[in-house]
Amino acid sequence: MNRRDFIASAVTFAWMPTAPYSLIDSHVHVWQTDPRYPFASGAKVPANVDASPSSLLEKMRSNGVSKTVLIQVIHYKWDNRYLVDVLRNNPGMFAGVCRVDPVDPGAPDHLSYWTEQGCQGVRLSPAADASGDWIRLPQMSALWKRCEDLKVPMTLLLPVSRLPDIMPLLERFSGLTTVIDHMADCPVGDAQGFQLLQSLARYPKVYVKISHPWSLSKLTYPYADVAVMIAGLRDAFGADRLMWGTDWPIKPELLSYERRVALYRDYLPFLSRSERREILAGTVARVWRL
């Protein structure tokens, strides 16, 4: 199949209307306006967005999603109390990924504290510009080592240009499960960047979220140009190291929760049934022990 035929098939083919198993979403945020959980200074919290756990649970029930990984939203920065309370109030429904200040010398101990409170991983977000150069600091090793000791995943929101900066850490902490968010935001058409992302497959504990196609694509739903990238990642990593995610409720004006679920459940025709099941449930369950 040539690239043009591949794109056409990705647009027109719907694999199945429902999955015969429960789905597990790898990437959702929750928050609420509440003086008990103040937002961080300067937080840009979108107005009129329902990010409540109750709303999320209803959407999950309506779309066959049995469990969800909650990623600490940047609105709270390093204060993970709201996330922890949501985990405690909804036992068995969620896993939680906290944030810690990566340049704080106490970051490893902060991570230990939040895991004791119920979190099951940490997320770091080095920016592409100089403000993200901290990812190169020697003190990163202590935080990565603590993740490895605690046996919790390291999740990274970073641009594809930052991948060379984490390779020494991947080499040193080869036993640590590391998850790359949103395909490293690799732009469509960036062949060099995409090859760099694919090259991470040589590290057997690296996983990739095939999320955010609506932000990367130059086409309309179901984003066939990004489907080509997803196929390439499947070829490099295997489906058992890829996972979907809705990133709800970020940018709800772009795409509803229902259509985000359907994108992975009903399209991507190059996936076999077993591969689709891995991406929709198996990989996430193994990484976060759900």
C-alpha–C-alpha distance, residues 111 and 122, integer Å: 7
Look at the alpha carbons of 258, 261, 267, 273 in this order and tell me if their dihedral is positive or negative: negative
pLDDT recorded at residue 141: 98
pLDDT recorded at residue 78: 98
Q: How confident is the model at residue 19 (pLDDT cuts 50, 70, 90)?
A: confident
Answer whether residue 190 shows pLDDT above 70: yes
| Segment 268-274 mean pLDDT | 97
C-alpha–C-alpha distance, residues 107 and 228, integer Å: 38
Q: How confident is the model at residue 20 (pLDDT cuts 50, 70, 90)?
A: confident
Q: How confident is the model at residue 18 (pLDDT cuts 50, 70, 90)?
A: low
Q: What is the 3-state secondary structure (H, E, C) of the chain?
A: CCHHHHHHHHHHCCCCCCCCCCEEEEEECCCCCCCCCCCCCCCCCCCCCCCCHHHHHHHHHHCCEEEEEEECCHHHCCCCHHHHHHHHHCCCCEEEEEECCCCCCCHHHHHHHHHHCCCCCEEECCCCCHHHHHHHCCCHHHHHHHHHHHCCCEEECCCHHHHHHHHHHHHHCCCCCEEEHHHHHCCCCCHHHHHHHHHHHHCCCEEEECCCHHHHCCCCCCCHHHHHHHHHHHHHHCHHHEECCCCECCCCCCCCHHHHHHHHHHCCCCCCHHHHHHHHHHHHHHHHCC
* CATH code of domain 3-288: 3.20.20.140
| Segment 104-123 mean pLDDT | 98
| Long-range own/partner contacts, residues 103-107 (CB < 8 A, 24 or more apart) | 103/134, 103/137, 103/139, 105/139, 107/139, 107/142, 107/143
* Tens digits of residue pLDDT in 74-98: 999 999 999 999 999 999 999 999 9
Answer whether residue 265 shows pLDDT above 70: yes
Cβ pair 213, 187 in contact under 8 A = no
Please state, as a whole number, how many other Cβ atoms lie within 10 Å of the Cβ of residue 258.
12
pLDDT recorded at residue 224: 97
Of 62 and 10, the structure prediction assigns the larger pLDDT to: 62
pLDDT recorded at residue 21: 82
Q: What's the mean pLDDT when you consider all of the chain?
A: 94
Residue ranges per domain, the chain? 3-288
What distance, in Å, lies between the first and last C-alpha atoms of the chain? 37
Of the candidates 68, 72, 81, the one whose C-alpha atom is nearest the C-alpha of residue 99 is 72
| Segment 173-191 mean pLDDT | 97
Percentage, residues of the chain above pLDDT 90: 92
* Tens digits of residue pLDDT in 43-68: 999 989 999 999 999 999 999 999 99
For residue 46, the Cα-to-chain-centroid distance in whole angstroms is 20
Q: How confident is the model at residue 281 (pLDDT cuts 50, 70, 90)?
A: very high
* Tens digits of residue pLDDT in 134-166: 999 999 999 999 999 999 999 999 999 999 999
Q: How confident is the model at residue 10 (pLDDT cuts 50, 70, 90)?
A: very low
One-letter amino acid for residue 33 of the chain = T
pLDDT recorded at residue 3: 52
